[in-house]
Amino acid sequence: MHSVLPCILLAATSWWDMTPEVIREKIDARIMSIAAPQPKVLKVEDATQQNVPVRIYTPCEQGSACALLFIHGGAFVAGSLDTHDNLARYLASKTNCEVISVGYTLAPDAKYPLALEQCYSVLEWLSKRCSSFIVVGDSAGGNLAASLTLLSRDRNGPKPLAQILINPATDLTIDCANMPWQAAQYLSKPEEAKLPYASPIYAKDLSNLPQALIILSELDELKPSGEAYANHLKAADVTTKVYCQPNTGHLAGDAARASPVAEPSLEVVVSTINELLKQHSKNAD
């Protein structure tokens, strides 16, 4: 069973004595080493929007006016448009939605909140391009996706139909999953870890957010904070669905590659998106 982040790093603690650049190279190489078929799409286009690199995936059969804004994971220091190319293709092929993958600037070169602001800029651009959209993120990208919905709500910005968080890092203060190291790369000061746009679980008000799907994994150290965030959303009357894949650790690498290991969780993601699209189309008629 593959398990790239954070569990795979726990087996090689000496990694944390290396530079972030070397760790990035190792994480990315591990992700790309996971064998998985490449889903078919009609077209893939690299572009720059709002000075942020994006990759736009056009499905073979465009059946929806809704788009997916995808934010990749990688412990804030790794991951890229390339490492998560398979997952973006998978989402486009299974939902018939256009997928826009965001190539935000990585830590430690970019400190909080630059990556979040870049995602917000792309969200604003996307809202002018598409009438409806869903935000999807995995791991650190799940953190950014959740934070993005908070930020956009507070700025009276575009509101996604939903937020889909795959093994999200909702709490940067936890003392496991190598989170202290990750937070140190991403944040300028330790106290920023309790800011709601850095750790969404610390937001005092989660009302009026898009409905959520939170994907957890039974053996993932991020599971408790993901469950807690789901409970906070429910307490704020945000429609929230939780799926926990049994007998698996953190799915970052396998989800990125849309490998068979992550298939149970990804099937829930796809079925949820398709149900949302069906309901949205019905409401629009």
b/e sequence 249-285, b meaning 16+ C-beta within 10 Å: bbbbbbbbbbbebbeebbebbbebbbebbeebeeeee
pLDDT at 282: 81
Closest CA to 182 of 198, 163, 165: 198
Strands annotated E in 39-186:
43-49, 52-58, 66-71, 98-102, 132-138, 162-166
The answer to whether 215 touches 136, Cβ cutoff 8 Å, is: no
Give the integer Cα–Cα distance in Å for 25 and 48: 24
Give the integer Cα–Cα distance in Å for 244 and 214: 8
The answer to whether 219 touches 246, Cβ cutoff 8 Å, is: no
Q: Please give the structure tokens belonging to residue 230.
A: 């789901």
SS3 state of residue 198: coil
b/e sequence 183-216, b meaning 16+ C-beta within 10 Å: bbbbbeeeebbebbbbbbbbbeebeebbbbbbbb
pLDDT at 18: 86
Q: At what angle do helices 263-284 and 85-95 cross, to 10 degrees?
A: 40
The answer to whether 208 touches 176, Cβ cutoff 8 Å, is: no
pLDDT at 14: 60
pLDDT at 7: 43
Give the integer Cα–Cα distance in Å for 245 and 61: 29
Strands annotated E in the chain:
43-49, 52-58, 66-71, 98-102, 132-138, 162-166, 211-217, 240-245
SS3 state of residue 227: helix
The answer to whether 2 touches 259, Cβ cutoff 8 Å, is: yes
pTM: 0.94
The CATH superfamily label for domain 7-13+22-284 reads Alpha/Beta hydrolase fold, catalytic domain (3.40.50.1820)
- Residue ranges per domain, the chain? 7-13+22-284
Give me the residues paired with residue 45 across strands: 56
The answer to whether 232 touches 212, Cβ cutoff 8 Å, is: no
SS3 state of residue 247: coil
Along the 285 residues of the chain, how does pLDDT read in single tens digits? 444 444 444 444 567 778 999 999 999 999 999 999 999 999 999 999 989 999 999 999 977 789 999 999 999 999 999 999 999 999 999 999 999 999 999 999 999 999 999 999 999 999 999 989 999 999 999 999 999 999 999 999 999 999 999 999 999 999 988 999 999 999 999 999 999 999 999 999 999 999 999 999 999 999 999 999 999 999 999 999 999 999 999 999 999 999 999 999 999 999 999 999 999 888 876
pLDDT at 257: 98
